[in-house]
Structure 1
């Protein structure tokens, strides 16, 4: 039993340390500037169908529709369609008042954004006018005026699936929203930007996504899990289609204010990630091994996103066990990774967050969020356990949005 314990402990140390170092090295490319400045710029040419997923969003949808109606892009090259999914409020009426298409859908069985988008795409393909590309937003979003210009450039430069820069619309509403903001600043810089610089697949984020219409018709949507963005990303990578990232196309997304509502949202994410991992992780990993493709290996790791949070938590736990308990005093041969390496890794992981905030030129008040940010990170541990062990619960729960925020309200 002692020998078995030693072997397991040493294996865990090596795995946790190695994969964390691998992810850390990949993230270093995020410090380098992206490709946007070197890519060819194009005049407006592509036409867009903008889909807005909405379920009882009468309190927040008007600012987005005003925003979309005034994008810096030729009006004749895009149309807005609001998917009024099982709405029982004034979402459809407000959409009509703003001069956009209100597409009402009622289905008590196939609930959720994935099913709503699939239904809308089928309606879209039946229409007389066809569009070059489809863009998807959530009803609580706001969008930078240049968004379609950036997507037009990406499409004309040969990309078929593009993810925009996800920003937090309400970062200073609470310590929870500020923790979300810090997480997304990190993800944009050290995950999305880094992988774009490495030439690896980027990951879709559920909103601010752009798809080539022909690709959607070829593949079909078929992404109806609780995390439709993760599912579609996996399907793309398996087909050798790498989503890319548009740093200058910004989506402002409202985040939950309370820890309770955040907990509920993130449990849903983990359930969706777990379902997608069970379906796509094995084929991605096996194909990555056969082709020796690091990009697909990395995509497989992201597919089960809880791994990333569990590994960060595991690094902290391993460091505490090694430095703060007598366990390793009695069993020195368990120290397969030396003390200094665990200390250095912890420091490097934490310093990434304030460094990203510095590079992104975030205001001084945002640094206060670093005090409670570890609490937010640690909360992923119980969330992950609950999400994994209840992954068969596929009930879709709507995140309630209540603040009607406009661009002029977002002052740092």
Structure 2
């Protein structure tokens, strides 16, 4: 019986390890930015659309940032959808010159996807024509170069282009910092990496543009909880790739507390599960039939909730084996001690490396991370040579020493970020129960918008 358990867990663990390695190896291609030949000729006229529900706190700052685009003023218009609003969102938006406010009231079909579909239909019936439609969330701030960079990418032939989703409040709380680290990492190791190897990127929900002809041809029809993922799948199934504009930045407000974050991420996982059930098999079939890897890669991405769940199960099996010795195969068995430590070191260092490449941390801060990672080699040696109390004391001294060193050498702000970076591991682990909830609640379509309680201007980021 023991051999059977070992064999089954070996097959499972190696399968999960292969999936993890695929994403890790692909992510390495994002460490380098290819030189791009950019064409800033303003060939496209944009409709900039914001779906807003009770966003009186932030809508003004967003509009002001949109109006400051370094792009011909006659080639973009701003539309605000006041969707089932009961506050002053529409009133505030109307105070800005050149902004068109469209109020929508529909208590049955609630949510961003429905609001966008309603607005697209209105645009298509207008006498004024647009080459592309760009979409934003109400809590965003838009960099002055956004349209210029998106236009450049569309001049290369892309029908849909996603911009770089940055954070406008990375220092507000440990949750906001964790979100920011996750998005910064994804921008490099997911989006830029796929751009570099010729795969399709993914629409990120905000800060993207769609060619009007493509939207008319395919129809929006994306009204689930992750309308961005659903439309990405439709694009890929119709032979299109989503382009990536690394310099087209939008700044997104991240949740401050764990509860708010939990609800938002659970909604994402509900939407992922829903989309996976409807598109995954179609993507895999089409990829095999047409022998196109970018379609297969899109199918793998859709399976993200299940991949997260598998990684969680693998972690539990490893924990059981490490603490109870249940004759379970663990990935450590494939490496000698040094090999596994080097593998763990690379995994730890890769995120700070991404942050320094996009200038989110300083070189001194990165050096501190590299020194801190030496614990991967030190702690196993300490554990062999002392009792539990001694090992605990060394751990406390090591972590405390690095926090103090960070404070004295790099300052208070760096200390907070270093501490929150350590908490990022907890944020990552919460994805496992959140994913389980999302899978179980797949058919719950209720939309829970994030409440915004503070405003930030473009100059602040």
Report the TM-score range of the alignment, normalised by the length of the smaller protein.
over 0.9
Deviations 1:377-396 (A, max 9, x none): 00001100111011111111
Matched with 1:384 is 435
Q: 2:422 aligns with which of 352, 371, 375?
A: 371
Q: Which residue in 2 is equivalent to 1:409?
A: 460
Is 2:451 aligned against 1:400? Answer: yes
C-alpha separation in 1, matches of 2:359 and 2:67: 30
Q: Partner residue of 1:16?
A: 16
Do 2:45 and 2:130's aligned partners in 1 also have CA atoms closer than 8 Å? yes
Alignment deviations for residues 118-137 of structure 1 (CA, whole Å, 9 cap, x no partner):
00000000111010000000
Cα-to-partner distance string for 1:231-254 (whole Å, 9 max, x where unaligned):
011111111101011000001000
Q: Please give the residue correspondences for 1:313-324 in structure 2 after superposition, counting only pairs within 5 Å.
A: 313-314=312-313, 316-324=315-323
Residues in 2 aligned to 1:323 and 1:355: alpha-carbon distance in whole angstroms: 30
CA distance in 2, matches of 1:258, 1:205: 22
Alpha-carbon deviation of 1:315? 5.2
Displacement of 1:8 after TM fit? 2.3
2:29 equivalent in structure 1: 29
Of 72, 75, 80, 1:74 maps to 72
Partner of 1:352 in structure 2?
350
Structure 2: segments with no counterpart, 5+ residues: 366-413
Q: CA deviation at 1:326?
A: 1.6
Instruction: State how far apart, in whole Å, the 2-side matches of 1:111 and 1:65 are.
Output: 23
Counterpart Cα distance in 1 of 2:45 and 2:331:
60
Q: What is residue 180 of structure 1 aligned with on the other side? A: 179
> For residues 334 and 399 of structure 1, do their structure 2 counterparts lie closer, same or farther at Cα, with a shift above 3 Å needed?
closer
* Matching of residue 88 in structure 1 with residue 86 in structure 2: yes
Offset at 1:270? Answer: 0.4
Q: TM-score, normalised by structure 2?
A: 0.84
Within the alignment, does 1:237 sit opposite 2:223 as a pair?
Answer: no
Does the 8 Å CA contact 1:13/1:337 hold for their aligned counterparts? no
Q: SS at 2:449's partner residue?
A: coil
SS in 2 for 1:383: helix
Count of residues in Structure 1 that have an aligned counterpart in Structure 2? 406
Q: 1:6: how far off?
A: 3.5
Return closer, same or farther for 1:226/1:384 CA change in 2, 3 Å cut-off. same
Structure 2 equivalent of residue 215 of structure 1: 214
RMSD: 2.0
Structure 1, 365-374 or 110-119: larger mean CA deviation: 365-374
Q: Residue deviations 1:290-346, cap 9 Å, x none?
A: 333322222112113224433554554454445444223xx6799874465655544
Distance between the aligned counterparts of 1:33 and 1:353, measured in 2?
Answer: 16
Pairing of 1:122-161 with structure 2 (within 5 A): 122-161=121-160
| Aligned counterparts of 1:4 and 1:132: Cα–Cα separation in 2 | 61
Q: Determine the C-alpha separation between the residues in 2 that align with 1:255 and 1:164.
A: 17
User: 1:62 matched to which residue of 2?
Assistant: 60
1:77–1:357 Cα change, 3 Å? same
Cα distance between partner residues in 1 of 2:207 and 2:50 = 10
Alignment correspondent of 2:45: 47
SS of residue paired to 1:299: helix
SS in 2 for 1:382: helix
CA distance in 2, matches of 1:213, 1:284: 24
Unaligned runs of 5+ in 1: none
SS of the aligned residue for 2:430 comes to helix
1:403 CA drift (Å): 1.0
